[in-house]
Each structure stands twice: as structure tokens, then as C-alpha cells.
Amino acid sequence: MDLTLNEEQSEFRALARTFLEAEVVPHRRDWDRAEEIDPALLPKLGEIGFFGLTIPEEYGGLGGDYLTYIIGMEELGRADSSVRGVVSVSSGLVGKPILAYGTEEQKQRWLPGIADGSLIGCFGLTEPDYGSDPAHLRTRARRDGDDWVINGAKIFITNATLADVALVFARTGTGDDQAGARGISAFLVPTDTPGFTRTLIHGKLGLRGQATAELSFEDVRVPADALLGEEGKGFKIAMSSLDKGRISIAASCTGIVQACLEATVEYAQNRKQFGKPIGSYQLVQDMIAEMSVDVDAARLLTWRAADLVERGEPFGVAASKAKLFASEAAVKASNLAIQAFGGYGFIDEYPVQKFMRDARVMTLYEGTSQIQKLLIGRAETGINAF
């Protein structure tokens, strides 16, 4: 693997950082307090190309490679993980499945808007009773003539109140032969469909600027062509989407570790105690060294997984390793940063406490750290742990 970025990748990284330093970093504290990002940011993100990084040009995207996408997610994570979530869910968890499994009509209908940020998608998998066990979800879709009728509920759905389309996973199979994963299908549901309701979740620990909501489906009727992929293949679509989504989370966490490192170094160079910058003390240098090593390790694991995707090789285990390490590293780095900042790290005048709150959820969603360990262990032993 060549770790040298090509000219286009380097240029996009520089462009992304310049844009985010101007348009996101100065506002992230206010958005965190308000529990809402400025919606005027979304078309700006679209103009830069964040939403369409890997969507082909024929559908309005940039047609870039997967590593460029991951670089974008890292820069978004460094600036504000709430903004990263909006982009990665819409373009990654929704846009990529449409590109991989959608009909030409579905691609033409949804991808251009997703690519330019004028349409936002959400990923409706997690349910109140089934988080880490999506094979047994209860939301059901039944066939009624030429339509599907959906009933059920979802929870912790990123982008839900912003979204124009929801990728919803529902049980369509009946009988023992369609139990578990075999009976799940995927649907593209416009969020203005009658019976589709969204309830915003307030008071989150982190990612407060990112819209997170509960979804409810009461006789939500969609046409037959809303089915994404084949009937009964929804679980495969969901799992393949989450494998790539874990690489995006790893990139975002790498960005958090990078942000913690940069903030701590700057503070340690300027904050003085006992007549000297605190960065001159070995215990503070020890904290900085740990962050520096972890950001390199997280980035290498993440880029390795992205490279496997780009080369068309199996990447699921590599994605789990990257997500596990980077998410735990982000929690560790944010705690170290707060320790270095002392009392100032505990207030939101400085960003490190936000980094800690945002990092904590990364060990939970799109597969907890424990689930990643199970996946890695199963791959190493060849024994199915589920």
C-alpha cells in the first residue's frame, strides 16, 4: 500500500480543512449548545463535494476514490463530528446502497440530490428492542396489491428530522423459512409519506448538533418500486452498508484524536505553570506522545481498510479493527486532553470537552466495541459467536 496521497487527494484535503476551519469550527460550540447545526451549511458542504465524493459523475457526484472519501470524513471529524454524521449517513449509509443495489430509476431519482446536499437521507435500522441484533427487527412491511404497507418503529436515527428519504429495513417474510435475517427487505421511503412521523431526541451527551430521532410507521404505503434490491435481501444490504460505515466512523474518530492532539499541543505551548509552559513537563509530554502514536495507528488502520475497499478485496474485519481501535482511541485522547487542560477542559470555552462527549458514542453506534471484538474473534477462530 502506497501511503503517499496523490495530487487530487492532497488538494481535497487542503480544501476541506480550509473550508471547515472557516465554516464549521467557529460555530461548533454554538451548534452544540443549540443542539442543531445551521441548515444553511448543507448546500455549502454539497458545493465543496463532501456529499458526492464517491457518487459517480453521471449521478452528480465527483466520482472520487474511497480513500478521498475517508480523508473527507477525517477532516469533518476533526472539525465537528456532528457535521460528519450528517454527511456520512446521507452519502454513505444511504447513497452507497442506492448506488450498489438500486435500479436505474432509483439512482436517477435520489443520487443527484444526495450528491449536492439538496436531499438528505437517513438509515432506518435500529429499533427500540433490537440494536445489536438487527436480524430480529419487528418493523414489518406487507404486500397490498401494487404497494407495500409498513408498520413499526425505529430509534436513534441520525438525520431523521432533516431527511427527505429514509432507507428503512422491515420484515417482509412469513413463516419459519423467512425467520431472522432471511425475511428482511429494504425500502426507500420518502419522509413526507402519510403515516411517517419523526420525534426529535433531545438531551444527548454528545453529537448534539446532529439531528437524532425516533421514527414511527403507521400504515405507511409505498409503491412496489420503493423496494431496494431483492425482497428478502435487506439484511445483506444493511450489513454491507455498516461495514463501510465503520470505516467512516474510524476516520471520524481519527479526526477527533487529531483535534485533541492539536488542541493539547497548542495549550501546552502557551499555558504556564511554575514559570514554564506546561508542555515542558514530562507528564504532559507523555499525554501528547500517547495521542500522537494513537492518531498514526488509527489513521493507518483506517486507510488500510479503505485501501481494501478500493481494491475490491474483503474488508469487513479490517473495518471492525479500525472502528474498534479508533473509537477507543478517541475516548482515550479526549480524556487525556481534558486532563492536560485541567479545569479549563471541563467548560465549553475550550473544545476538548466536546471532543470527549462526541467520542463516547463512537464506541456504541454502528456496532459497539464489544460487537467489533466478536466479529474479529469470529474471523480469527472461524467460530460463529452469534
Mean pLDDT, rounded, for 64-78 = 96
Give the chain's mean pLDDT: 93
pLDDT number for residue 180: 72
Confidence label for 179 from pLDDT (cuts 50, 70 and 90): low
The span from the CA of 115 to the CA of 50, in Å, is 8
- CATH fold group of domain 123-232: Butyryl-CoA Dehydrogenase, subunit A; domain 2 (2.40.110)
Give the SS3 label for residue 153: strand
Q: Do residues 123 and 89 touch, judged by C-beta distance below 8 A?
A: yes
Measured from the Cβ of residue 279, the count of other Cβ atoms closer than 10 Å reads: 19
Cell numbers that stand for 375 in this block = 466479529
| Nearest residue to 256 (alpha-carbon basis) of 316, 211, 302 | 302
Measured from the Cβ of residue 175, the count of other Cβ atoms closer than 10 Å reads: 7
The span from the CA of 286 to the CA of 298, in Å, is 18
Same fold? 123-232, 236-381: no
Catalytic (active site) residue 366: yes
The 10s digit of each residue's pLDDT in 215-252 is 999 999 999 999 999 999 999 999 989 889 999 999 99
Residue 176 has pLDDT above 60, yes or no: no
Mean pLDDT, rounded, for 257-276 = 93
Give me the catalytic one of 21, 230, 366, 380: 366
Mean pLDDT, rounded, for 171-200 = 87
The span from the CA of 267 to the CA of 123, in Å, is 39
CATH of range 7-119; options 1.10.540.10, 3.40.50.2300, 1.10.390.10, 3.90.600.10: 1.10.540.10
Helices vs. strands in the chain: H and E counts, helices first: 12, 10
Confidence label for 114 from pLDDT (cuts 50, 70 and 90): very high
| Nearest residue to 180 (alpha-carbon basis) of 171, 168, 169 | 171
Tell me the backbone φ, ψ of residue 156, rounded to 5 degrees. Answer: 60, 45
The 10s digit of each residue's pLDDT in 101-110 is 999 999 999 9
| Nearest residue to 46 (alpha-carbon basis) of 116, 121, 132 | 116
Q: Do residues 351 and 81 touch, judged by C-beta distance below 8 A?
A: no
pLDDT number for residue 277: 87
The span from the CA of 177 to the CA of 169, in Å, is 18
The 10s digit of each residue's pLDDT in 21-51 is 999 999 999 999 999 999 999 999 999 999 9
Domain assignments of the chain as residue spans, ordered by start: 7-119, 123-232, 236-381
The 10s digit of each residue's pLDDT in 145-158 is 999 999 999 999 99
| CATH number of the 236-381 domain | 1.20.140.10
